[in-house]
Structure 1
Amino acid sequence: MKYVTFHPDGTLHLRLIKGTHEIPEDAVEVDSTLWQKLICETDGVWTLGADGGITKQPLPVIERTREDVERLRLAAFAEPVTGSDRYFSEASRMQVMGEAGWEEVRDSGIARFKEIQMLYPWPSDKT
């Protein structure tokens, strides 16, 4: 038997399994289908309605500012393993040292740079 508890504002607090957890008096028993949804569906906020029904509300949309996007992009560009800056640094070193293949490394950096820009697009200006 599986149970859930809710915060005072009605949002999901805990998922509990009888025999593994202590089940509080205010816990609500859920069937296996709903339990699976409560575990797997993370694209919303699960809430307990006044009628006792459990529903999923959409996550709030948070608009990023240009400063937020700038900060995210700079961190992504500089990330040591997945960023684009490492390619540019390596290509510059290779070019200065006369090593072959620096153009391909530079092109990889350009491609990753563009991917990061697509991942963190500028917000639309509403002013």
Structure 2
Amino acid sequence: MSTFYIPSQQTFYNDAIHPKIPDEAIKVNNEQYRDLLAGIAMGKVVEVGIDKALMLVNASRLPFTKDEVTINRLIAYSNPLTGSDRFKAEAYAERLAGNEKAATEADVKMMVRREEIRKENPWPEEA
């Protein structure tokens, strides 16, 4: 029995109940399903990020100015626990150590996280 998220319908399907799963379906494990349902119950909405990664975002965003979005993005990028800049520092350290493969992996993680942050903080005309 598998659970899937259907972005265009903003709902979940279960293959034990639904004989036909739409092509756009994104498979979620039990933990993701519980987390997404809990977020939805708290007023968040599910958005699809890079590589079909599902993330919860605030449903009632206030319209921000471009300057406010820029500030929010910069703060998010620099967060030492969840930001993208930590991967940039990791890539730099790995390159200094001569480990190009690990540095490239950190670069990819940085780009993925930056895109997630951009989606979480869209420009006013994109919201």
Q: TM-score, normalised by structure 1?
A: 0.49
Q: Which has the larger radius of gyration?
A: 1
Normalization by structure 2: what TM-score? 0.49
Richer in helix (by share): 2
